[in-house]
Amino acid sequence: MKIAVNARWLLPNQLEGTGIYTLRMLEQIIPTFPQHDFHLLLDRGVATDQFSLNFPNVHFHVVAPQARHPLLWTLWNDFSVPRALKKLTIDLYWSPDGLPAKTKTRQWLTIHDLNFEHHPEWVPKNVAAYYRKQIRKGAHQAQQIFTVSQWSAQDIASTYSIPPEKIALTYNAPQQPMKAGQMETEAPYFCAVGALTPRKNLRTLLLAFDHWVAKNPTTVHRLKIAGAAHFKDTAFEAVRNSLKHADRIDWLGRLSGPALEQLYGGATAYCMPSAMEGFGIPLVEAMQCGTAVISSKNSALTEVVGTAGLLVSTYDVEAWSAALQQITTENSIWRERALQRGDFFNWEQSAAAFIKALPK
CATH number at residue 270: 3.40.50.2000
Q: Would you call 55 helix, strand, or coil by DSSP? A: coil
Give a yes or no: residue 249 inside a domain: yes
Q: 97 lies in a domain?
A: yes
CA distance 290 to 264: 9
Query: What is the mean pLDDT of the segment spanning 340-344?
Result: 93
pLDDT average, residue stretch 257-270: 93
For the cut 80, the answer to whether the pLDDT of residue 10 exceeds it is yes
The pLDDT mean for the chain works out to 94
Q: How many residues does the chain have?
A: 360
State the Cα–Cα distance between residues 266 and 290, nearest whole angstrom.
10
180 pLDDT more than 90: no
Whether 245 and 276 share a structural domain: yes
Domain count, the chain: 2
Tell me the HSE value of 240 on the side-chain side, using a 13 A CA sphere: 13
- Whether residues 38 and 65 share a domain: the answer is yes
132 and 69 together in one domain: yes
Cα–Cα distance between 269 and 254 in angstroms, integer?
19
For the segment 119-138, the average pLDDT, to the nearest whole number, is 94
Give the pLDDT band of residue 234 (cuts 50, 70, 90). Answer: confident
Does some domain include residue 145?
yes
Q: How far apart are CA 27 and CA 204, in angstroms?
A: 37
Could you give the residue ranges of the DSSP H alpha helices within the chain?
17-29, 70-75, 81-87, 115-118, 125-141, 150-160, 202-215, 234-242, 257-266, 281-288, 301-305, 317-329, 331-342, 347-357
**Which amino acid does the sequence have at 343?**
D
In a domain, 64, yes or no: yes
Looking at the structure, do residues 101 and 212 belong to the same domain, yes or no? no
Do 157 and 224 fall into the same domain? no
Quick: pLDDT tens for 318-337: 999 999 999 999 999 999 99
Choose among 263, 258, 245: nearest CA to 205.
245
CB atoms within 10 A of CB 251: 12
Counting beta carbons within 10 angstroms of the beta carbon of residue 261, is it exposed (0 to 12), middle (13 to 18) or buried (19 or more)? buried
Residue 181 covered by a domain? no
Same domain, 29 and 136: yes
pLDDT at 236: 86
pLDDT score recorded for residue 14: 73
- What's the pLDDT at 338? 96
Query: What is the domain extent for residue 92?
Result: 2-173+346-357
